[in-house]
């Protein structure tokens, strides 16, 4: 293989086209965000659609595609309905502790003065409690029309979520046709190679998301149970947050900051000291994290994502800068695939040919 004018021109034209596409997507990102979010969610829901098709013995996909988002909405709504009242009560308790300290009912040590001022300015539990209370089912039923009438932005957000849901349903219904349609976009001359790459990408993505999703679910359950056992306020929301962030490696440790804030506020009430409660919270990390990292993850994920920590952090930074939160989610499978192709076709091309 050698470089000539024709190859160089094709490379330059390809770079120009790719740059133009990236700039166009960046310019239209606000309009395209619901569609891209719907594509990602539909991709994640695809296995559930297939499972519903088996259960319902449906030959087509319409009913299962309508049933799947409904099931997810019911599950999420049920979780919110069950745990939201306790979350609101715990936020109210933390807010009352801060109020008592502010009004002088409870003594405040000097080292907590700066912390309390910062917390009240940027993260007031009472404001969070009032915000979450708006989503309680009774409030929505009794004041829903008033809330919609108060702010046009709420209506716009509702329409945005509705549009995303419509996108998800139509993408799920036509998922096989859409997958085949992407193949037809590629010229016939390059179709076989492109289809091979797309197949490898799909296999890598499926292995990562399905495996990492199961690991994240195990982590979520472990942290919810652990935080509840030690009596940490907001145990369930924090456990869910840790599980969600587990989809992006190392991001689950960000929650330690929030845990420290919760422990500090709770300790102001005098029920338990900060060091004891925070120490027990860290103990949950010490117990659950190794179980997920060294027992569950190797068993589920294998060694497909065998990237060292430095490469993981670099890939998260690069893909996150390019595509935001979705880029950070796909960073590991995409980077692993790129490195695999580099090793196969560039670093050691003779091995791939043989």
Does the pLDDT at position 304 exceed 60?
no
What average pLDDT score do residues 181-207 get?
68
Closest alpha carbon to 129 in 98, 93, 83, 103: 93
Residue 340 pLDDT grade (very low, low, confident, very high; cuts 50, 70, 90)? low
CB-neighbour burial class of residue 237 (10 A; exposed 0-12, middle 13-18, buried 19+): buried
**What gap in Å lies between CA 203 and CA 299, rounded to an integer?**
18
Q: How far apart are CA 325 and CA 228, in angstroms?
A: 29
Instruction: Output the CA angle 321-325-327, nearest 5 degrees.
Output: 60
Question: Is 262's pLDDT higher than 50?
Answer: yes
Q: Which residue, among 285, 210, 261, 220, has the nearest Cα to 83 in the 3D structure? A: 220
* DSSP 3-state of 1: coil
Higher-confidence residue: 137 or 36? 36
Q: How confident is the model at residue 229 (pLDDT cuts 50, 70, 90)?
A: very high
| Across 11-26, average pLDDT | 78
Residue 327 confidence (pLDDT) above 60? yes
**Residue 1 vs residue 177, higher pLDDT:** 177
pLDDT beyond 90 at 240? yes
Dist CA 260 CA 240 (whole Å): 17
31-45, 173-187, 262-276, range with the lowest pLDDT: 173-187
Predicted confidence (pLDDT) per residue in 66-77, tens digit: 999 999 999 989
Confidence at 20, pLDDT banded by 50, 70, 90: confident
In terms of DSSP H, where are the helices of 104-187?
Answer: 113-122, 125-133, 137-150, 152-173, 175-185
Choice between 40 and 58, residue whose per-residue pLDDT is larger: 58
Question: How many whole angstroms from its chain centre is CA 303?
Answer: 23
For 264-293, how does the pLDDT look when each residue is reduced to its tens digit (9 = 90+)?
Answer: 888 887 778 888 999 999 999 999 999 988
- Tens-place pLDDT, residues 97-137: 877 777 777 766 655 666 666 666 666 666 666 666 655 55
19: pLDDT strictly greater than 70: yes
Residue 150 has pLDDT above 60, yes or no: no
Higher pLDDT, 299 or 75: 75
Q: What is the distance between the alpha carbons of residues 237 and 80, in angstroms, rounded to a whole number?
A: 10
């Amino acid at each position: 293989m050698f470089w000539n004018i024709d190859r160089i021109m094709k490379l330059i034209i390809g770079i120009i086209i790719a740059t133009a596409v990236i700039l166009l997507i960046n310019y239209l990102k606000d309009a395209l965000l619901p569609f891209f979010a719907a594509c990602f969610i539909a991709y994640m829901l695809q296995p559930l659609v297939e499972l519903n098709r088996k259960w319902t013995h449906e030959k087509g996909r319409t009913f299962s595609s309508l049933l799947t988002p409904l099931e997810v909405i019911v599950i999420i709504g049920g979780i919110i309905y069950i745990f939201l009242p306790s979350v609101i009560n715990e936020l109210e308790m933390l807010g009352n502790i801060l109020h008592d300290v502010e009004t002088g009912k409870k003594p405040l040590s000097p080292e907590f003065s700066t912390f309390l001022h910062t917390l009240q300015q940027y993260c007031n539990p009472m404001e969070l409690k009032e915000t979450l209370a708006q989503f309680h089912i009774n409030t929505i039923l009794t004041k829903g029309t008033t809330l919609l009438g108060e702010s046009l932005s709420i209506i716009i957000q509702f329409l945005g979520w509705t549009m995303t849901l419509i996108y998800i349903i139509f993408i799920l219904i036509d998922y096989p046709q859409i997958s085949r349609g992407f193949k037809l976009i590629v010229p016939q001359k390059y179709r076989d190679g492109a289809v091979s790459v797309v197949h490898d990408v799909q296999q890598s993505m499926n292995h990562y998301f399905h495996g990492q999703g199961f690991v994240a679910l195990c982590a979520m359950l472990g942290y919810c149970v652990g935080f509840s056992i030690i009596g940490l306020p907001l145990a369930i929301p924090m456990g869910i947050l840790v599980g969600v962030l587990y989809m992006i490696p190392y991001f689950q440790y960000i929650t330690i900051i929030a845990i420290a804030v919760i422990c500090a506020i709770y300790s102001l009430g005098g029920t338990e000291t900060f060091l004891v409660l925070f120490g027990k919270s860290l103990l949950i990390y010490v117990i659950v994290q190794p179980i997920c990292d060294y027992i569950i993850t190797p068993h589920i994920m294998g060694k497909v994502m065998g990237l060292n920590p430095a490469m993981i952090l670099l890939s998260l930074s690069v893909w996150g800068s390019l595509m935001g939160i979705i880029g950070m989610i796909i960073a590991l499978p995409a980077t692993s695939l790129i490195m695999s192709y580099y090793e196969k076709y560039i670093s050691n091309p003779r091995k791939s040919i043989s």
